[in-house]
Every structure is written in C-alpha cells, then in structure tokens.
Amino acid sequence: MQSGPSGFFHSDWPAQYSAICLPFTHDAAGNPEVAAATLIYELKLHHYVLHLQRIGSPYAFYALGSSCVFNSASYAAVRGVPLRSAGEDFYLLNKLAKVGPVHTARDRGVTLESRCSGRTPFGTGPAVSELLACRAPFRRADFL
C-alpha cells in the first residue's frame, strides 16, 4: 500500500521539470528482517545517487516509479513508458532527463510497502529477497 503526504494531490509542481522524484521510505509492515534488508537496499540506493550527484551527472535521481511524478507534456514527448519486463521507471526517467530536468524534491515524500518479491528480475523486491538469503550482505560485491 502506498500513501501520499497531506496535500500531495493539491500541490503545484513547477512546469519546467520533466519529472520530480520524491523522497521515499519503505514500510516493512512489522517484519524486522524485511525492514533490515530494505534499509540495506535503501543505503545502496542513496550511495549510488550521492555519487552521481558528486560527479555532476544529470542522471542523479532515484528510479523508483512509485515515488515519481511525471509532467504530462514531457511524458507525451518521450512517448510514454518503455515496454520492458523490469526497469521501466529507470528507462522512462532517463528518457525524460533528455527533454527537461528531473528534480529531486526535498519536502514531500511517499511511503512504499517493502516486501520480498520475485515478480521482476531486479528492483526492491528481488533485492530484499537476496539480502535476506545472504549471510553477510555488506560483503557482497555490489556493496563494496
């Protein structure tokens, strides 16, 4: 279940942005193991984006579709969501970044449900599942 902050749907978003990436948190619905694995995954995401920001990349944003707002004119200009089995949010945001800036909001955020999932080959669900199965998650190559 996803939730938006109070007043979220009544906000005036600046028209110059092709997309806005909102701050996010995950709720593991009382499962401490899933919460811990999700926190590790979130740290990896933050680390990745911070390094992209540090080098000045125009692609320094979080590609979590549930935490993004898209400008309808920009969305139409890039012909919508790419047909992919996973990563549609990532590929859409990369297309949108070519037609206008992608803004990272600081004030309003969303809470996403965290869970184990094998529905897609990569993303939050599979990463949480893999981290739960791993005895030393911080020793994994993708965390070094």
Q: Is the CB of residue 22 less than 8 Å from the CB of residue 107?
A: no
* pLDDT tens string 116-132: 877 776 778 888 888 88
Give the chain's mean pLDDT.
84
CA distance 39 to 80: 31
CA distance 110 to 24: 5
In-domain check, residue 75? yes
In-domain check, residue 1? no
Domain that holds residue 122: 16-143
Greater confidence (86 vs 39) lies with 39
How many domains in the chain?
1
In-domain check, residue 80? yes
Nearest to 124 by CA among 22, 44, 29, 23: 44
In-domain check, residue 8? no
CA distance 64 to 99: 19
In-domain check, residue 6? no
Q: Which of these ranges, 6-20, 28-42, 59-73, has the smallest mean pLDDT?
A: 6-20
pTM: 0.78
